[in-house]
Amino acid sequence: MAATEAVIVRAPAKINLELRVGPVRDDGYHELATVFHAVGLFDDLTARATEPGAGVSITVDGIQADAVPTDDSNLAVKAAQLLAAHIGLESADVAFELRKGIPVAGGMAGGSADAAAALVACDALWHAGLDREQLLQLAAQLGSDVPFSLLGGTAIGSGRGELLTPVLARGEYTWVVALADGGLSTPAVYGQIDAMREAGEAPQPTPVPELDDALMAALRAGDAEALGSRLHNELQPAALALAPHLERALEIGRKVGALGGIVSGSGPTTVFLARDSSHALDLAVALTASGAAVDVRRAHGPVPGARLVESVRG
Ligand code: C5P
């Protein structure tokens, strides 16, 4: 069998249709109940075979590429090292080229998508033959959202977000994604919600966070209008406290009749559910013209998780 020279893996962004945040656990994470939904903004990762002992290298281009680290703190690099150690390779030898299509530090799991892509890419490049369960376990070690970036579709997340149950959701949804200036740090946003709860500025968490039955029913029925009205993010008040200007994008979404609009995850990206493609265009134009967003994308969901799109054999 000819050796694999290069592979290309495509991984999607996620939004949280619902995000319920419980109390802080002993390990410092928050217990979550969330509904993940993969949407069609993608990072593409090319992984090329290199000389034995060369180690991992990465170059980055695409949107906000300058904000992505290219050292060992890059999650794709960490993923390659973790997988190499797991299968007993002495050196993780791979050259990555990453093309960003997912906002950086935007609350859309862009770094997690890259980690998931790197796991799938290195598994193929090194002929590791790991099954989905093994990849999901490695993913959970890399970050709370990485398992979902592998799985894609629509799924319930519990624990710190890494325990997944796929949701039988009907329908395809049209989203408008509004990018904001700069990023928000996820730990800072979680810290902010804790502080607001302590000060009585946000509702107290229930010991075990629970999902809204009506949102799940809307997904089962493929009812976009009902889904839009039930979108909910308990991190939103914290993200808005740290980035008050996001309120303007939410206000424009309401004015232009979005079926729903929320801050995505820990923000600062905001997402809006449109009735159809032409409504999505109206929303995109209004968000751009107002200056409430630095860039606007339209995306469909759900889409699959990280997957191999090309493989080149020598
Ligand atoms: O798991 P991940 O490394 O992506 O998490 C980043 C940070 O987000 C954590 O260090 C923590 O501050 C916060 N977090 C949390 N509870 C979760 C997930 C993330 O507090 N369930």
Q: Give the residue, out of 36, 160, 164, 194, with the most ligand 1 atoms within 8 A of its beta carbon, to mutate for a pocket test.
A: 160
Whether 151 and 86 share a structural domain: yes
Whether 144 and 178 share a structural domain: no
Name the binding residues for ATP.
103-113
Whether 19 and 98 share a structural domain: yes
Question: φ and ψ at 68, to 5 degrees?
Answer: -100, 125
pLDDT in tens, 209-253: 999 999 999 999 999 999 999 999 999 999 999 999 999 999 999
Domain boundary among 113, 136, 167: 167
Whether 158 and 42 share a structural domain: yes
Nearest to 9 by CA among 88, 96, 110: 96
Nearest Cα residue to atom 21 of ligand 1: 160
For the chain, how many structural domains are there in total? 2
Question: φ and ψ at 95, to 5 degrees?
Answer: -110, 115
Whether 105 and 22 share a structural domain: yes
Structure tokens at 34: 């969330």
Atom nearest to 161 CA in ligand 1: 21
Whether 163 and 20 share a structural domain: yes
Whether 13 and 158 share a structural domain: yes
CATH at residue 193: 3.30.70.890
Residue 313 lies in a domain: no
What is the identity of the amino acid at 264?
S
pLDDT at residue number 3: 82
Whether 37 and 83 share a structural domain: yes
pLDDT at residue number 273: 98
Residue 278 lies in a domain: yes
pLDDT at residue number 1: 57
Whether 57 and 159 share a structural domain: yes
Residue 279 lies in a domain: yes
Q: How far, in Å, is the centroid of ligand 1 from the Cα of 269?
A: 17
Whether 37 and 177 share a structural domain: no
Residue 287 lies in a domain: yes
The percent of residues above 90 in pLDDT, for the chain, comes to 95
Q: Give the residue, out of 19, 26, 27, 30, with the most ligand 1 atoms within 8 A of its beta carbon, to mutate for a pocket test.
A: 30
Domain boundary among 167, 202, 229: 167
CATH at residue 39: 3.30.230.10
Residue 46 lies in a domain: yes
Domain boundary among 119, 150, 167: 167
Structure tokens at 209: 């966070």
ipTM beyond cut 0.95: yes
10-residue block means of pLDDT along the chain (314 residues)? Answer: 87 98 96 98 98 96 94 98 97 98 94 98 97 98 98 98 96 96 93 97 93 97 98 98 97 98 97 98 97 95 97 85
Domain range for 244: 173-301
**CA–CA dist 37, 56 (Å, integer):** 31
Whether 141 and 262 share a structural domain: no
Residue 238 lies in a domain: yes
125, exposed or middle or buried, with CB in 10 Å at 0-12, 13-18, 19+?
Answer: buried
Residue 50 lies in a domain: yes
**CA–CA dist 267, 8 (Å, integer):** 28
Which run of H or of E encompasses 233?
strand 232-233
Q: How far, in Å, is the centroid of ligand 1 from the Cα of 246?
A: 22
Residue 178 lies in a domain: yes
Which run of H or of E encompasses 30?
strand 30-48
Whether 73 and 129 share a structural domain: yes
